[in-house]
Structures are given as C-alpha cells and as structure tokens.
Structure 1
Amino acid sequence: MDIIEFQQNITVQYCFPDNNMSCKKDIQSGPGNVLVLVFLSCISVCTVILNLLVIISISLFKQLHTPTNLLILSLAAADLLVGMFVMPVNIVQMRDSCWYFGKMSCSVFQAINSVSVSSSLCSLTFITVDRYIAVCDPLLYSTRVTFYKTVLLVILAWSFCLLYVIIFLYFNDLLLPSQISTNCYGECMMVIKKSWMIVDLVIFFLTPCSTILVLYSIIFSVARHQARAVTTVKKGFSKKRGLKISNSSESKAAKKIGVVIFVYLACYIPFYISSLSVESLTSWSIVWTVFGWLVYMNSAINPLTYAMLYPWFRASVKFIVTCRIFESARLNLFPENA
C-alpha cells in the first residue's frame, strides 16, 4: 500500500515546484484534449487574421472611411483583443490549469477579457442601430449619422465598457491583486456573484438582445416592403419590354438577417441562461469553459458576418494578399459591376 501511494505522489506535478503553496497541475494530455486544444488554437489564429484584415482594409482605404465601417472597425478591434489575448491565455490555462503570470497579470487579464467582450457586444448593437437608420430613414441618414458623431459614439462606448468593467471587477473582488483570493499559488480564478450576473444579464444581454431583435425585425419588414415596391416597378417596365425578372432580393435580405440573429443568439444565450442556474460562476467550471468559448468564437464569426459578405472587403483582401496595399490611394474597391 505504501508503494502505491509513493508512486502516486511521484506523478503529481506542481505549477511552481519550489513553492510549498503551489497549485497542482491538471495536465490535459489525452488525444481528445490535444485535439480540442489544437482546434481552439486554430480558432484563435483565424480570429486574429480575419479581424486584422478588416482593420487593415478599413484603415488603409479612404473609400472605406464611412460611419458604418468605423463601427465595423471598432467591432474588429474588440474581437482582435479576444483572439490575440483572451483566447491564447485561456488555452494555456486549459492545458495544465496553471497561471504563471502573477496576481497583477490576473487582474489585467480579467479586465481585458471583460472589456473586449463587452465592447464587441456594444459595437454589434450600434451596427444594428446604424443599419436601422440607413434603411428606415435613408434621406436623413447622412445628416443624422456623420463620421465625427460615430467617432464620438465609439469613444463613449469603449469608455462606458471600461468603467463598467472596473466597477464589475471591484465589487467581485477582482480589481486589485490583493483582493484576489486563491486556494494556492498559481491560480487565476474569477468568481462572479449571482447578483452581478443578473446585472450583467440585463445590461449586456437582455438590452442589446432586445435592441437587435426588434430593430432587425423592423429592418426586414421595411426591406421587404421596399423590395416589393421595386419589384412592382420592374414588373411594369418588363411587361412593356417583354422581359422576365426574378425577385431574389427579399430572400437574400431574409437570409442575411437570419444569419446575423442566429449567430448572435447561439453564441450568447447558452452562457447567460446557464449562469442563472448556479449561485456563483467560476472561470474553471464546465459551464464557463464550454459556453464561455461560444462567446469567444463569436469574435471569429463577426468578421465573416459583418465584413466578408461585402464586395469591398473581398476586393481589399485581394489587394492586401497581392501586396498592392501601397497603391490604396488609387485603387477602386467599388467597381461598377460589383
């Protein structure tokens, strides 16, 4: 019996072997775990690449300096933080459950994590509002939504998210390194009180979710009405000319709006709904790991949903890949046949 216990003690590994208070490593070495870590690493790399392409495209090409694209740029910046910092750190922790960077870095990481995710969600909401104004009030859009107003809105949104995160971390005892309570040395675990989960649910889920669902339903209704009006005019013209036309604009609008809403709800609903079923949510729970990564993966899907569907983005990526970005001043991203 003593020999068995001795052999078990030999296999135990610690995050910091020289520290008596060190946490034990929980190394994920099975084939399934390795496959999961490789998959998540690929998601992180794709998130960085896609959002960098969006940022470079909008920043370099003057033709893309519009209020809508500025909101997409803000969204890409927030998602880039998720892919560049939040995802890799979570992958390292998932590999052996150890935190090697100290308590100060733990507080900074929690702040970056919260600010990037909340800023991404704010940008999604503002993009929805921008599209609502563009579709429902197109004649006054250029006066109501200007570039400088959008810049101010983005600054205020990021400032609000930063202020909210500071208050959030303070009341959950996560703002200062001295406030973080750990069971052992080498642990960075975020414990969220249920009262703050309810506040977070209202501010960063119910409010933006309701806004996005209501506005996109109005956008679809208005777009469908406009499509029918255009189709009626075209049919009258085609009858005179003896031509046949196909009406696909309505179905395209329905597909795009359906994709946007489905992706948003699929990424955020599981995390917030499941968070209400426990007294406190820890960053090492299965719920946090699975549904938290769904929220992170939304940062990889956003550039596909909000940028790559546009011809200008595909054209700019082509110029970037072919190393023609230095000719951006005279390149045309909006050809007549696009």
Structure 2
Amino acid sequence: MEPEITTNQTDSVKDKHLCYESVNESCIMAITPSTIRVLIYIFNGSLSILTTCGNLLVIISIVYFKQLHTPTNYLILSLAMSDLLVGTLVLPFNIALTVSSCWYLGDILCKLQGSFDIPLTTLSILNLCFISVDRYYAVCHPLRYRTKINVHVAAIMILVSWGVSALVGIGIIILGLNEGKCEGRCLTFNIPISSIAGCIFSFYLPAIIMLSIYLKIFLVAQRQALSIQNTNCQSIKSGASVSKMERKATKTLAIVMGAFLICWTPFFLCMTVNPLSNYSIPTAVIETFILLGCSNSMLNPFVYAFFYSWFRVAFRMVISGKIFQGNFVNSKLF
C-alpha cells in the first residue's frame, strides 16, 4: 500500500500520530484501542504457539517412527519445517507490526522479515507442488511409482524447494524494502513490476500447475473406481485396497493444498492489484490477509491428525512422552 506521507505544511494531519514525530516524511500511525491491542497480542501469540507446536509434532513423528519414512512423508516433513519457521520467525514480526502499523526495528530487520515472509510462502507452495507430483505417480502410474518416486528423488525435490526459496529471499534483500516510502513502515515489493512478477512466479504459476495435476489425478481416480466396481477378481481386489489407500492419501493432501490456496489467494490478489490501483488497499486489509495466510501453517497438522489414523497414533505417543520411555522406533502405526 502507498503509505501516507506527512510534511510540515500539511494541516490535515496535525491531529494524527506519526511513527516519528521529528521526521518530515513520517508514516501515520494507526491508533489501536488497548482492548483490541491485547486481543491481537493474544490471538497472534496463540496462533504462533499452535503453529510451532503442531508442526513440531509432525516433524518429530516423521523423524522418529521408521514406518513413516516414505518419500511422501519426507515431502510432508519439508512442508512442516517451512510451517514451523512461519510460526517462529514470521508471526512474531507480524505481532510487532500489526498493533501499531509502525516499524521500529530498523531497516536490517525489515529486510530480514521480508526475506522470511515471501520465501517461506514460496517454499510451502513448492513443497505442495512436489507433493502433487508424488500423488500423480502414486494414483495415475502406480506400477512405476516406486521407481519414479523414491527417497533420493524426494531429497532432490526438497533441495530444489529450499534452494529456490533461498534465492527468492536473497533477491528480496538485494532489491531492498521501503525505498522511496515514508519512514516507519516495512513493506515488501514496493516496485509494481517486482510485486506482480513475484506473485506470478511464487504463487499463481505453481498454483495452476498443482490444480492441473490434481484435476488429472481426480479423473484417473474416477476411472479406477469404475474399473474396480466392474471386476470381481481377487487379485484386483487386493490391488484395489492399495489403490484406495493411495486415493485417500491423495484426497487428504488435496485438502491441504486447497486450504493453502484459500488462505493465501486473498493476500496475493492484494499484492497484484495494489500497485495497479495506486496502493489504494488499506493496510489493515492487507495485514488481515497476511494473518489469514499465516494461519494456514497451523491447519496442516490438524488435517493430518483428522484424516490419518497413523498420525493420530504417533501424535499421542509423542504428546504422552511414551517415546522417551522406551524404543518405539519400529512401532506399527498402521
């Protein structure tokens, strides 16, 4: 958003509070009532804690239990690590910025905050893209799945996701933040071209790829279901149970992807429209959409626990501390 710039000659802002009273080109501070401020602290703080603890459960479960050491779960592990970083690095900064709308932590921390925010979103969507590729082979080419998607391939996918996201973060630092803007605001992608290009390559393009892959999976899964209904062969029934498990996993991960798109699409639409509309979208609206996007990082562990019985078993063993009372690495979770 194009912040309001205040000069000594402007009479209309005399009654408004500035981020820096002694600076001519200071941003105007948003005055938040103390009750609302406390509620924001409580909500954001709770969101940060739930996000951190929930994704720690996923990480510990996948790392500890050998039965969860699969290519799909390694990709889920990478997604959980990116969500954990959102809970520990992004949300605390957002708490400081949302309450007063002013940024008092300096340009260096502003650049660091920007280098975490967008890159971690990019990391999440790249992880989801590779998860959709994993599901594509599992459902559409089950006989080739183990040869096409193995631990080494999953490791390459994870390295690519983190490498591209790191480059995005470095690019944000090089481009710089807050250039040509009023003092006291921390903004990402002030330049219209970089804002729109960033949205296209970090969100829209991967989202279109994911949706296309899941549409293909849905069509193939429907054909498989009809084929299974029209046969009574025992060997086919055995294969059908495996196919059913794969389809359930695909459905669960499609819900994870859908939740991600629902949570983050409003923010990226704002980032696209805002430069084209001369930064007319209110800061409060953008901050609300950022919070909605960040809340997605909290949802995934609950989705896994709801749809996967083996994750529920693993979560209970971790929360109860049972894994510290003996060796349960080879426990049968499903």
1:129 positional shift:
0.9
**Using a 3 Å threshold, how does the CA distance of structure 1 residues 68 and 145 change in structure 2: closer, same or farther?**
same
How large is the Cα RMSD of the aligned pairs? 3.4
Task: Kindly state the Cα deviation for residue 80 of structure 1 after the two structures are TM-superposed.
Answer: 0.7
Equivalent-residue separation in structure 1 for 2:73 and 2:224 (angstroms)? 24
Identical columns (%): 34
Q: Which residue in the other structure is 1:270 paired with?
A: 266
- Quick one: distance in 1 between partners of 2:41 and 2:127? 29
1:188 partner SS = coil
Report SS of the residue matched to 2:143: helix
- TM (normalized to structure 1)? 0.78
How far has the Cα of 1:77 moved from its partner? 0.7
| Residue equivalent to 1:145 | 149
Contact 1:47 1:79 in 2 (8 A): yes
Letter of the 2:130 partner, please give it: F
Residues 221, 247 of structure 2: 8 Å contact kept: no
Contact kept, 8 Å, 2:19 with 2:28, in 1: the verdict is: yes
Residue 276 of structure 1: SS of its match in structure 2?
helix
Among candidates 32, 51, 60, match of residue 64 of structure 2 = 60
Find the aligned partners of 1:274 and 1:80 in 2 and give their Cα distance: 25
1:111 to partner: Cα distance = 0.7
Gaps spanning 5+ residues in structure 2: where? 1-13, 235-243
Contact 1:189–1:282 (CA<8 Å) still a contact in 2? no
CA distance, structure 2, for counterparts of residue 167 and residue 292 of structure 1: 20
Partner-residue secondary structure (3-state), 1:274: helix
TM superposition shift of 1:274: 2.9
Q: Which residue of 2 aligns with 1:183?
A: 182
The answer on whether the counterparts of 1:189 and 1:284 sit within 8 Å (CA) in structure 2 is no
Cα 1:323/1:282, change in 2 over 3 Å:
farther
SS of residue paired to 2:47? helix
Q: 1:122 to 1:282 in 2, by over 3 A?
A: farther
Partner of 2:237: none
SS at match of 1:332: coil
Q: Which amino acid aligns with 1:146?
A: N
Within 5 Å, give how 1:63-212 maps onto structure 2. Answer: 63-171=67-175, 173-174=176-177, 180=179, 183-184=182-183, 187-212=185-210
Distance 1:262 1:151, change over 3 A: closer
Deviates more, 1:254-263 or 1:68-77: 254-263
Q: Is residue 283–residue 289 contact of structure 1 (8 Å, CA) maintained in 2?
A: no
Corresponding letter in the other structure for 2:198: D
Q: CA, structure 1 residues 155+286, in 2 after alignment: closer, same or farther (shift >3 Å)? A: same
Change (3 A) 1:313 1:328: farther
Equivalent position SS for 2:61: helix
Residue 170 to residue 124, structure 1, CA distance change in 2 (3 Å): same
Offset, 1:158: 0.8
The answer as to whether partners of 1:316 and 1:333 remain within 8 angstroms in 2 is no
Deviation at 1:311, TM superposition (A): 1.7
- Measured against aligned partners, the alpha-carbon deviations of 1:160-209 in whole angstroms (never above 9, x if no partner) come to 111123224423x23xxxx855633x543335222122212321222111
Which protein has the larger Cα radius of gyration, Structure 1 or Structure 2? Answer: 1
* One-letter code aligned to 1:334: L
Q: Unpaired runs of 5+ in structure 1?
A: 1-8, 238-247
**Alignment map for 1:194-273 (pairs within 5 Å):** 194-233=192-231, 256=252, 259-260=255-256, 262-273=258-269
Question: Is the 8 Å Cα contact of residues 71 and 127 (structure 1) preserved in structure 2?
Answer: yes
Change (3 A) 1:133 1:258: closer
Q: Partner amino acid for 1:44?
A: S
Indicate if the aligned counterparts of 1:224 and 1:250 stay in contact, CA closer than 8 A.
no
For residues 144 and 81 of structure 2, the distance between their equivalents in structure 1, rounded to whole angstroms, comes to 29
1:37–1:91 contact (8 Å) kept in structure 2: yes
Paired residues in the alignment total 308
Q: For residues 272-315 of structure 1, what are the alpha-carbon distances to aligned partners after superposition, in whole Å with 9 as ceiling and x for unaligned?
A: 22333322669982342122222212211223335652122111
